[in-house]
Amino acid sequence: MIFGESHGPAIGVVLEGVPAGLALDLEQVQKQLARRAGGKSALSTARKEADRVEVLSGLFEGKTTGAPLAMVIANADQHSSDYEAIRYTPRPGHGDYAGFVASKGCLDYRGGGHFSGRLTAPLVAAGAVAKQILAGRGIWAGAHISSIYGITDAALEDVEALRPVAEKEFPVLDDGRGAAMKAAILEARQAQDSVGGAIECAVVGLPAGLGAPDFGCNVEGIFAQHLFAVPAVKGVEFGAGSAFSLMRGSEANDPFAVRDGRVVTRTNCSGGVNGGITNGMPVLFEVIMRPTPSIALPQESVDLRTGEEVEIEIKGRHDPCIVHRAVPVIEAAAALAACEVLGI
């Protein structure tokens, strides 16, 4: 359970079901949070937060106790006054209006409140714990930016190529294409606009036979539930995804083979899942991320007090693109989903 608001005193997460006896490496948690952090360049928001994790419960003498693990992250760099002008004029593309209605007008509107991308920080912290649990079973998750504004990264031919990507400030396979993506982001920023993109992620090491075709047990459904909880994710595709519509069955089917005494498939168009069950290949998927809704250009809205149509201009510090910062977030959501699939 993730809690808190963008401009509240703190944000955090409570994880239930964490196995007892895990020697939790908090520095690894901090490393994952550092990958997500903004304030590093013109490619992201100017908001700077230390994002130091404090563990409130579930950890004793460096090991998890099996009790709920509660972690909090303080908020310090808020400019709440930037949002007063849009308290009753919802920003297009944001959760402002839907949240206003759902909360009966009691929404914390500052910085997007609970709908803010700021809430991905505790998600990353939770995912960092999940990654350490998975590592003990030989399972890992890695991702890269697959595209930004139509500029595509190199094709992922070997999931092992994702390991070094995690050490890059701009997580792409091909740095040359990454430079072109950066230029597109800066161009959008100069135009007071934003751009979207996509992230490709693989979970490697999940054994065959997990999941079921049924509702609530389907592996793709479990992953999708976690991934759609990430702000800005508007689509999820497994394996070949939408490219299946361009294929024949002879192209889409993954031929079986035996390698080192293990049944594998020569291709992975199905993304490691058949019939809602893992087949032992990497669970491979791509998420589509919308452009950041907060842009400086004038936009049309409605004054919720008067019902009049109005024009708004959004102030504050916002990302011209959130895709590069979202890579560790998607990995975190994938790690949490993998734990659920494993029954942890």
pLDDT digits (tens, 9 = 90+) for 282-314: 999 999 999 999 888 999 999 999 999 999 988
Report how far residue 252's alpha carbon sits from residue 269's, in angstroms, rounded to the nearest whole number: 6
Q: Which residues make beta-bridge pairs with 274?
A: 277
- Hey, how many other C-beta atoms are within 10 angstroms of the C-beta on 36? 24
pLDDT value for 45: 67
Least confident of 77-91, 146-160, 166-180: 77-91
Q: Angle, nearest 10°, between helix axes 26-36 and 323-342?
A: 140
| pLDDT, tens only, 2-34 | 999 988 899 999 999 999 999 999 999 999 999
pLDDT value for 49: 75
Query: HSE (CB half, 13 Å, CA atoms) of 264?
Result: 12
Single pTM value for the model: 0.93
pLDDT value for 298: 92
Mean pLDDT for the stretch of residues 67-90: 83
342 pLDDT tier (thresholds 50, 70, 90):
very high
37 pLDDT tier (thresholds 50, 70, 90):
confident
42 pLDDT tier (thresholds 50, 70, 90):
confident
- The domains of the chain, with CATH numbers, are 2-342 (3.60.150.10)
Report the share of the chain in percent with pLDDT over 90: 81
Round the average pLDDT of the chain to a whole number and report it: 93
Q: Is it the case that residue 158 has pLDDT exceeding 70?
A: yes
Report the share of the chain in percent with pLDDT over 70: 96
pLDDT value for 202: 98
Mean pLDDT for the stretch of residues 238-267: 96
Mean pLDDT for the stretch of residues 214-227: 96
Single-letter amino acid code for the residue at 77: D
pLDDT value for 38: 73
Cα–Cα–Cα angle for 44, 327, 185, nearest 5°?
35
pLDDT value for 117: 87
77 pLDDT tier (thresholds 50, 70, 90):
low
Q: Angle, nearest 10°, between helix axes 26-36 and 120-135?
A: 130
Task: Return the structure tokens found at 14.
Answer: 């409570």
Report how far residue 295's alpha carbon sits from residue 229's, in angstroms, rounded to the nearest whole number: 22
| pLDDT, tens only, 84-136 | 778 899 999 988 999 999 999 888 888 788 888 889 999 999 999 999 999 99
